[in-house]
Chains A and B, each alone.
Chain A
């Protein structure tokens, strides 16, 4: 699998984004070890932000300079592979993590163990970055756990808040269950194919002999893997934790989990299924495309209908993130072999990129509302625009972009997804997604209506007394500008994404 001319030498330097993140996590630990009782919040937040942002810059430079072009750089005997998809997703994770670190300064003021918070965020991002490059089921599992364990701690970070602790508990229990299911799935796949490396699994299955003898066992294993991915991406049937965890967790952590952690679940799903189980080989035994079609339809419908009935804005966003997982599942569900798979898979990646900015921004706006203590329901947001017009413009951009109106990048990425689905011959999938999108406009516009058209309830005093939180406010603005700019500038990323998707799809024999 080694390319003849390695584009970077020595080859482990291709992992620089992950190494940078790991080093910065260590620096945060050391800073906290020097004086655990006194913490300099600004310094810690600055170190975490600089660390994630520099990893983002490295990933961006690698992506544009073609380090991961083609089959990518294979590291540690093929356990990790740094290709276009790995770098693309690393860019998503690190940009979301940088926004989160920037936004957490004011939100966390007054809580203890702030160094712990930032080092957990950076460690979780390291885990995601390794996940994006994982090319064997062993590294997939280890990096998945490196993401999961800090996430449990982050959700329960507000130790004295009942909601936060309860959310952490539920997240941990469901996470432990799905990790167990996932590990069992890995063991079954290993038992059938005799390898953990994704390309080797594909070549073990290629003859058809293994499939004929042990197809049933493999089918059960693959279904269990689907369960593990469904947990990480908050898709049906392992989506129950999402509304609870997002509602109880500190709002920046909800943003982190619903954008970056979800994308991390998708990157391993994309890689494992397209590389290890090429659909043309395994279609007769376990038709995972059909499984993902069912999951996509159920997930987006359930997510959107549940979101439409919520009164609490954070819970509405949580269910909407379940719905968006359903849209992105089209990226796997439309790999029918008809049309061009790279458009479908690439569209999933692009949607996750845009979603990373618009959804993070929306959750950070909720964090700002919590900072101002305006309350949690739609009614509490009434008349917010009279006091904070600029922030409300940003939130309006996020809401309409999430709904798919041509005001932000969300319009184009959804368009790619639906067009890809139609091109792959699953027009009904695109139809269901379009209907769901139309429904989502209803509940997203409720937020906009409350902010701009309703009269204030008299709960907006916090804006005057507490003022604008600088870090949080600038993070929301950066996310809004990025969301809008992604509409005209999506071409840059879409070329990269289609190229990366093409490389991944061709890797399978």
Chain B
């Protein structure tokens, strides 16, 4: 029944609506922009690298926010060492990872010579 209702509605509207084909309907919808080129372009690999590095900071923020909220209470209850050191350790691990990625050229923005018509800005 749940499947039948939408199928019936689609079928009914297909039967009674007028058919007015025009170019604007067939064009790719780009939120009002006029589409240029086709979808088969290669993105610069750097976009993915930056996206992955963003995840590092993303996760860091997610975990640091609740920690800062309870930090004062945690210090009074468990002492400075147990409240601060695990978070420092966590950030230290992330810093090592970021430093490694940086040194290995993950943030060096290279222009691809192989993809025509693409700019990096």
- Spell out A's residues near B (CB within 8 Å): 26, 29-30, 32-34, 36
Contacts and interface: CB of A to CB of B under 8 A. Distances in A.
Nearest to A28: B100
Contacts of A26: 93, 96
Nearest to B101: A33
Contact of A32 (B93, B103, B105): B103
A36 B93 CA distance: 18
B104 interface: yes
A29 B106 CA distance: 14
B97 interface: yes
A33 B104 CA distance: 7
B99 interface: yes
A36 B104 CA distance: 6
Nearest to A31: B100
Given A30-B96, A30-B99, 11 more contacts: A29-B96, A29-B100, A30-B100, A32-B103, A32-B104, A33-B96, A33-B100, A33-B102, A33-B103, A36-B103, A36-B105
Closest 5 CB pairs of A and B: A33-B103, A29-B100, A33-B100, A36-B104, A36-B103
- Could you say which of A26, A30, A33, A36 has the most chain B C-beta atoms within 10 Å of its C-beta? A33
A116 to B, nearest CB: 8
- Could you say which of B96, B99, B100, B105 has the most chain A C-beta atoms within 10 Å of its C-beta? B100
Contacts of B105: 36
Interface string B89-120: 00001001101101111000000000000000
B93 A33 contact: no
A11 B100 CA distance: 32
Interface residues of B, number: 9
B79 to A, nearest CB: 14
Nearest to B103: A33
Contacts of B103: 32-34, 36
A30 B95 CA distance: 10
A36 B102 CA distance: 10
A497 B44 CA distance: 52
Nearest to A26: B96
8 contacts: A29-B99, A29-B100, A30-B96, A32-B100, A32-B104, A33-B99, A33-B103, A34-B103
A374 B13 CA distance: 69
Nearest to A113: B104
A34 B104 CA distance: 10
Contacts of B104: 32-33, 36
Contacts of A34: 103
A16 to B, nearest CB: 15
Interface in B30-82: none
A414 to B, nearest CB: 42
A32 B104 CA distance: 8
Contacts of A30: 96, 99-100
A348 B92 CA distance: 39
A33 B96 CA distance: 9
A30 B93 CA distance: 11
A36 B100 CA distance: 9
A34 B102 CA distance: 11
Nearest to B105: A36
- Could you say which of A29, A30, A32, A34 has the most chain B C-beta atoms within 10 Å of its C-beta? A29
A26 B103 CA distance: 15
A500 B74 CA distance: 37
A111 to B, nearest CB: 15
A36 B107 CA distance: 14
Nearest to A35: B103
Nearest to B104: A36
A48 B22 CA distance: 65
Nearest to A32: B100
Contacts of A33: 96, 99-100, 102-104
Interface string B17-29: 0000000000000
Nearest to B92: A26
Contacts of A36: 103-105
A32 B102 CA distance: 11
A475 to B, nearest CB: 27
A79 B96 CA distance: 26
A34 B99 CA distance: 9
A77 to B, nearest CB: 14
A144 B100 CA distance: 24
Nearest to B93: A26
A22 to B, nearest CB: 8
A33 B105 CA distance: 10
Contacts of B96: 26, 29-30, 33
